A and B are shown apart, each in its own frame.
Chain A
Amino acid sequence: EADIYQTPRYLVIGTGKKITLECSQTMGHDKMYWYQQDPGMELHLIHYSYGVNSTEKGDLSSESTVSRIRTEHFPLTLESARPSHTSQYLCASSDTSGGADTGELFFGEGSRLTVL
Chain B
Amino acid sequence: AQTVTQSQPEMSVQEAETVTLSCTYDTSENNYYLFWYKQPPSRQMILVIRQEAYKQQNATENRFSVNFQKAAKSFSLKISDSQLGDTAMYFCAFMNPPNFGNEKLTFGTGTRLTIIP
B44:A103 contact, CB within 8 angstroms: no
Task: Select A104's contact among B50, B89, B97, B99, beta carbons within 8 Å.
Answer: B50
A: interface residue count bin: 20 to 34
In chain B, positions 45-91 with a C-beta closer than 8 Å to chain A are: 45-47, 50, 89, 91
Give me the interface of B with A, judged by CB distance under 8 Å: 33, 35, 37, 42-47, 50, 89, 91, 95, 97-99, 103-110, 112
Chain A-chain B contacts (Cβ-Cβ < 8 Å), number: 55
| A residues in contact (CB < 8 Å) with B | 1-2, 31, 33, 40-43, 45, 48, 58-59, 90, 92, 96, 99, 101-105, 107-110
Chain A residue with the shortest CB-CB distance to B6 = A42
Name A108's closest neighbour in chain B (CB-CB): B44
Known contacts A31-B103, A58-B104; can you find 5 more A-B pairs with CB under 8 A? A40-B112, A43-B91, A103-B95, A103-B97, A104-B50
